[in-house]
Amino acid sequence: MIGNLNHVALVVRDLDIAITSWKKLLGATVSSVQALPEHGVNVAFIDLPNTRIELLEPLGDGSPVSKFLEKHAGGGMHHICLEVTDIMAARDELRAKGVRILGDGDPKTGAHGNPVLFMHPVDFHGTLIELEQVSADQP
Ligand code: CO
């Protein structure tokens, strides 16, 4: 069912400060900041040769990332994102296997304009996993 690792997401308190650290300390290539109000985050991507790192900062009231920062004051790893070719088929198969899908179960549009879903972390031993539908011709 699953394909490549699309990204690893890290929550940070301040996106601009975090971007500066990644650039100055590691020489990272970082995208411009994108606001995703539907997900309650500002996001920037660090491009690596084989995958990406997503830096997340809370946006607006009730951001899921704010709740994360209440528990992990310094920030930290939030989720991993795995690629699938058919997100609705993946969702239905996972549900049939007893996996809980977060929210209403309908895919939302993620940072790359692709449909995404999140699975309940309890069903994956404490790790939040995002599924992103990526078509074969996308980089
Ligand atoms: Co993500």
- Domain containing residue 116: CATH number: 3.10.180.10
Query: What is this structure's pTM?
Result: 0.92
Per-residue pLDDT for 67 more than 80?
yes
Average pLDDT over residues 132-139: 81
Tell how far the Cα of 97 is from the centroid of ligand 1, in angstroms: 23
The answer to whether residues 53 and 47 touch, using CB atoms and an 8 Å cutoff, is no
**Nearby residues for ligand 1 (ion, Cβ within 5 Å):** 9, 54, 81, 130
pLDDT at residue 139 in the model: 63
Q: How many domains does the chain have?
A: 1
Would you please indicate which residues are annotated as catalytic (active-site) residues?
130
**Element spanning 102, H or E:** none
The answer to whether position 103 is within a domain reads yes
The answer to whether position 74 is within a domain reads yes
Percentage of the chain with pLDDT > 90? 89
Per-residue pLDDT for 27 more than 90?
yes
